[in-house]
Amino acid sequence: MARIAQLTYYPVKGCAGTSVPVAEVGPAGLAHDRVFQVVAPDGDFRSQRRYPVLASVRPRVLGGKLKLSAAGFDDLELDIRREGPRHPGSTFSWQGTGVHQGAEAAEWFSELLGLPSVLIGVAPDHERVTSGETPGTAAFADGHALLVAGESSLDGLNERILERGAEPVPMDRFRANVIISGWAEPHTEDEVRAMTAGTAEFGYAKQCVRCTVPMVDQETGKKAGPEPIRSLATYRRHPDGGVTFGMKAAVVRPGQVAVGDEVIVHSWAGPSPSTAAAEPPLTATASRPAESV
């Protein structure tokens, strides 16, 4: 029986996540997920691809406050601004504005990254339509409301990594929102088209094409490649380029989910084309832009 094994939301895009036993699910995914992002003065978003130190930031949403912690820096606690001056923001598939979270937050992230930065939050009039087989919406996630991954997918990957004589990687490298146990076959999530858990319903959007972020140690905020991208490249090549791990999903019906909830699949597709055959390795740089989460 498939069940939810872990639920994690990431308050600030690119920063560390918070695992919870129960989560409210809104149209844009788990409550508090990617509702803030760090951007350049022109609105270009800061990513672990260029700034892996973001992974070392531990954000926590405490009611109406956001607390930021990172080794070597004083903690910063902010009143979350729901309204106020706007600042441009962006993702791979969206451009717009967010609510500027103030000078203190801007200075904190500017010092951390060593270049001018601003923290913005999702604006009350935020509008976004996400792509894929099941359309939906999202906050500041690269492309979709949720990333779903099965424990067996990681187990299968780590077997291959161990065969290469390298160290296995933890699931946090993939920054998933919903981790599912009980599926015997690796990458079963690729074949799900509609599923329910708790009182929420989810629909398949697309496979997640990975960038270089899974090669960042999420505890230290330092690059630690070439795994897992090197091993994924031997058997998880996407037909359009890049390598895949995990499934992007849209929220079809908001609700509540909890660790231990049974996952019921109502609609399946055939096997993923990216698992049809093993192919020679490719470099970690995909032939088309990959998403980070």
Over residues 10-37, the pLDDT tens digits come to: 999 999 999 999 999 999 999 999 999 9
Q: Name the percent of the chain lying above pLDDT 70.
A: 92
Q: What percent of the chain has pLDDT over 90?
A: 90
Query: The whole model's pTM is what?
Result: 0.93
How high does pLDDT run on average in the chain? Answer: 93
Residue 257 — pLDDT band, cuts 50, 70, 90? very high
Q: Tens digit of pLDDT for each residue in 104-150?
A: 999 999 999 999 999 999 999 999 999 999 999 999 999 999 999 99
Q: Which residues of 25-47 are buried (b: 16+ CB within 10 A; e: fewer)?
A: bbebbbbbbbbbbbbbeebebbb
Q: How far apart are the first and last CA of the chain?
A: 28
DSSP letters, 87-137, are: EEEE-SS-EEEEEE--HHHHHHHHHHHTS--EEEE--TT----B-SSS-B-
Confidence check: pLDDT of 277 > 70 = no
Q: Are 148 and 178 in contact (CB under 8 A)?
A: yes
Question: What pLDDT score was predicted for residue 65?
Answer: 98
Answer whether residue 275 shows pLDDT above 90. Answer: no
- pLDDT one-digit tens code per residue, 150-168: 999 999 999 999 999 999 9
Question: 3-class DSSP state for residue 178?
Answer: strand
73-79: strand order across its sheet: 58-62, 65-70, 73-79
- Least Cα distance to 22 among 266, 200, 268, 220 occurs for 200
Q: Where are the alpha helices (DSSP H) in the chain?
A: 103-113, 151-163, 229-232
What whole-number distance in Å separates Cα of residue 220 and Cα of residue 214?
Answer: 13
Mean pLDDT across 241-267? 97
What average pLDDT does the segment 276-290 reach?
Answer: 39
**Consecutive H or E run containing 42:** none
> What order of strands is seen across the sheet that includes strand 95-100?
36-39, 118-121, 95-100, 86-90
For every residue of 55-97, DSSP letters joined together read: GG-EEEEETTEEEEEETTEEEEEEE--SSS-EEEEE-SS-EEE
Proportion of the chain in helix, strand, coil states, percent, rounded to 5: 15, 40, 45
pLDDT for 270: 74
- Residue 169: pLDDT above 80? yes
Span 95-107, average pLDDT: 98
Which domains, from first to last, does the chain contain?
3-10+130-275 (2.40.33), 18-121 (no CATH)
